[in-house]
Amino acid sequence: MSVRGIRGAITVDVNEEQPILNATVELLNGIVADNQIVPDDICSVFVTVTSDLDETFPARAIRQMQGWELVPLMCALEVPVKGSLERCIRLMVLINTDKSQAEIRHVYLSGAQALRPDLSKA
């Protein structure tokens, strides 16, 4: 069994608590569904946000999901590169799995599809 990283990102339209929490859940649910994983498979989740999202911690949304209470979570600020995508939440989900790297499905939603169009669903 290997530890694999699953990347994902999503943007929100406004810096408000509920849209940030909702987007975080939407992104994580997409990662879970596309990769057929359960919380017990998760090693940890690393969450970053751009500096323009400061109304809440996105990890709060994950912590409230059933079965995710014990999953280690950490939030941080994304590197503030000039001209980078605004109002973006990124996840790095580390999982224990027998899947190969090629079988992992990364998830990019909303405006974050621009980050990795090669990995984004049409």
- Tally of residues, the chain: 122
- Residue 105 labelled as part of a binding site: no
Select which of 7, 55, 60, 105 is catalytic: 7
Select which of 43, 55, 105, 116 is catalytic: 116
Our measurement of the distance from residue 18's CA atom to the centroid of its chain's CA atoms, rounded to an integer in Å, reads 16
Alpha helix locations (H) across 1-122? 17-35, 59-63
The per-type count for the chain, helices as H runs and strands as E runs, is: 2, 5
Q: Is 75 a catalytic residue?
A: yes
- Residue 90 labelled as part of a binding site: yes
Select which of 63, 69, 86, 103 is catalytic: 63
Q: Is 105 a catalytic residue?
A: no
Q: Is 108 a catalytic residue?
A: yes
Q: Is 43 a catalytic residue?
A: no
User: Which residue has tokens 């224990």?
Assistant: 96
Select which of 43, 55, 60, 75 is catalytic: 75
Select which of 26, 87, 88, 90 is catalytic: 90
78: left (phi over 0), alpha (psi -120 to 50) or beta: beta
DSSP, collapsed to helix, strand or coil, labels residue 60 as: helix
Tell me which DSSP letter residue 64 carries: T
- Residue 87 labelled as part of a binding site: no
Q: Is 116 a catalytic residue?
A: yes
Q: Is 60 a catalytic residue?
A: no
Select which of 4, 26, 78, 87 is catalytic: 78
* Residues flagged as binding site: 7, 90, 108
Residues annotated as catalytic are 7, 63, 75, 78, 90, 108, 116
* Residues flagged as binding site for prephenate: 7, 90, 108
